[in-house]
Amino acid sequence: MTKKTGMNNQNLKYQNRGLLLRLLCTHDGVSRIQLAQRTGLTKMTVSNIIAGLMEQDYVVERAPERNAGVGRNPIILDISPGAPKVLGVQLGREGVTAVLFDLKLRILKKEEEPFAQENTDSILQKLFRAVDRIRIQESNILGCGVSVVGPLDVGSGVVLNPPNFFGVSNLPLRRLLSNHMGLPVELNNDMNCAALGEKLFGAGREFHNFLYVGLSTGIGSGIIENDGLYQNSSGFAGELGHTSIDCNGPECGCGNRGCLEEYVGMPVIEARLREATGQAGDFASFCAQTEDPHVDVVLSDVIEKITRALVNAVNLLNPQAILVGHNGTHLPARYLEQMERELNRRKFSQDYLKIRVKKSRFGMDSSLYGSGCLALRQLFEYGRIEGYEEEGTSPFPPS
């Protein structure tokens, strides 16, 4: 049984503040009355919290909306341009990208460091250079989220042993980056970050439960359950690419046979498309040629294999939707319609609830935007802000 802890009045205040900040950051202009209606908080509680946020320059008032009816026009609240920012980092096999986001997840600055022949030390140096160039331009940063290729130990912030990642092994990345910047750092894998970004700001906002599926070098997934990111203490949940669709299939690098990744990883798909068509090209360019029957045969087979694995996931998790992202956003609509139709035909529970299949909002950048959401999630869930607490603590709880 999970040990539960009580919540004192101070923590409740932080939680309520985080709830209001989430609504203000993820919606375009709301009034105090709307905040009270959406959260169930009293108007007095909302007014008191907003007053504190305005004093700290997190929130500003905008001109009242014109009200067609009787009564006073409500004053609209929005995030202040002077509010602190968050740092997002995407660390992948091709390089590192560091981005400064405002609290509404708009990109303000971006720095990149490509990888060539690297080792652990050179990767860290390029990472530090990228974030330092951001921090020279902006000092008012709440915290940093990092999207990195897995596997990871999310609880301890350690990058374990990602395949084809320059020999990186058991790297305590969260501690090293936090010490370098003097900021709180959150770490997660690329697919979990993508799912979180889509939930807070993207195509997943309308769903309480969904599965993000990203087509990349392999295929991965992130799970949103009851409006939050689902993962166990180590962070290994959602490894869709290593579920077997054929026990007699080819051996995977993980030791299993018939893993989905062996059939629908991007290098495999592109090789099949080139062989079928006799043309050079990448996945995106082939997706623009789907009137070619050779392309259609390959892509239809890819969708069938992904659907085969997703039926198992759907029967286990019962999501409301599947969001297809990363390279999957290049797929023409008819292939997503094929996936949606087959999922609903094959799933165990043939009830009135239809699973929807949609493209992600952020596409190839889903993990990058999700890295910023890792930092924002701490603010939304805990509501703790530098200089706003009486005890003067860090903006985020201890890692």
User: How confident is the model over 336-346, as pLDDT tens digits?
Assistant: 999 999 999 99
Are 225 and 312 within one domain? yes
The predicted structure's pLDDT at residue 163: 84
Q: How many CB atoms lie within 10 A of CB 120?
A: 16
Burial of 280 (0-12, 13-18, 19+ CB in 10 A): exposed
pLDDT per residue as tens digits for the range 170-191: 999 999 999 999 999 999 999 9
Regarding whether 218 and 73 lie in a shared domain, the answer is no
Range of the domain at 21: 9-79
Q: Has residue 242 got a pLDDT over 90? A: no
Banded model confidence at residue 65, pLDDT cuts 50, 70, 90: low
pTM assigned to the model: 0.90
Cβ 164 vs Cβ 93: under 8 Å: yes
Better-predicted residue by pLDDT, 65 or 332: 332
Q: State residue 237 phi and psi, 5-degree precision.
A: -70, 150
Pairing mode of beta strands 321-326, 95-101 = unpaired
- 127's tokens: 């990472």
What CATH number does the domain containing 64 carry?
1.10.10.10
Whether residues 341 and 209 share a domain: the answer is yes
The set of long-range contacts for 229-235, using a CB threshold of 8 Å and a minimum separation of 24, is 229/188, 229/192, 229/195, 229/196, 229/199, 229/377, 231/154, 231/188, 231/192, 233/154, 233/155, 234/153, 234/154, 234/155, 235/150, 235/151, 235/152, 235/153, 235/154, 235/155, 235/188, 235/189, 235/192
Residue, of 6 and 318, whose pLDDT is higher: 318
Domain boundary among 79, 109, 141: 79
Structural domain tally of the chain?
Answer: 3
Q: How many CA atoms lie within 13 Å of 214's alpha carbon, on the beta-carbon side?
A: 29
User: What distance in Å separates the CA atoms of residue 360 and residue 318, rounded to the nearest whole number?
Assistant: 19
DSSP 8-class letter at 329: G
* 231 and 296 co-located in one domain: yes
The answer to whether residue 392 sits within a structural domain is no
Q: Is the residue at 397 inside a domain?
A: no
C-alpha 359/C-alpha 204 separation (Å) is 10
Pair (210, 352) in one structural domain? yes
Q: Is residue 387 part of a domain?
A: no
First to last CA, the chain: 22
Stretch among 21-35, 37-51, 213-227, 343-357 having the lowest mean pLDDT: 343-357
Q: 122: buried, middle or exposed (CB in 10 Å: 19+, 13-18, 0-12)?
A: middle
Please tell me the total number of residues recorded for the chain in this structure. Answer: 399
Q: What percent of the chain has pLDDT over 70?
A: 90
Instruction: Report yes or no on 1 lying in a domain.
Output: no
Domain boundary among 79, 94, 110: 79
- Which of the listed residues 55, 79, 103 is the one where a domain comes to its end? 79
The answer on 53 and 95 residing in a single domain is no
Please give the pLDDT value at position 393: 41
Same domain, 221 and 312: yes
Give residues with Cβ within 8 angstroms of 92, minimum separation 6. 148, 149, 190, 367
Q: Are residues 223 and 112 in the same domain?
A: no
| Average pLDDT score, the chain | 89
Residues whose CB falls within 8 Å of the CB of residue 62, separated by 6 or more in sequence, listed in order: 29, 75, 76, 77, 78
Structural domain includes residue 140? yes
SS3 2: coil
Position 198 in a domain:
no
What CATH number does residue 127 fall under? 3.30.420.40
* DSSP 8-state symbol, 137: H
SS3 111: strand
DSSP code at position 101: E
Q: Take residue 106 and report the two structure tokens written for it.
A: 């708009």
Indicate whether 253 and 230 sit together in one domain.
Answer: yes
Same domain, 208 and 334: yes
Q: Which residue has the tokens 């709440």?
A: 142
The 10 Å Cβ neighbour count of residue 30 is 18
66 and 94 assigned to the same domain: no
> What SS3 class is residue 21?
helix
Q: Is position 59 within any domain?
A: yes
The answer to whether residues 123 and 213 belong to one domain is no
Residue 394 lies in a domain: no
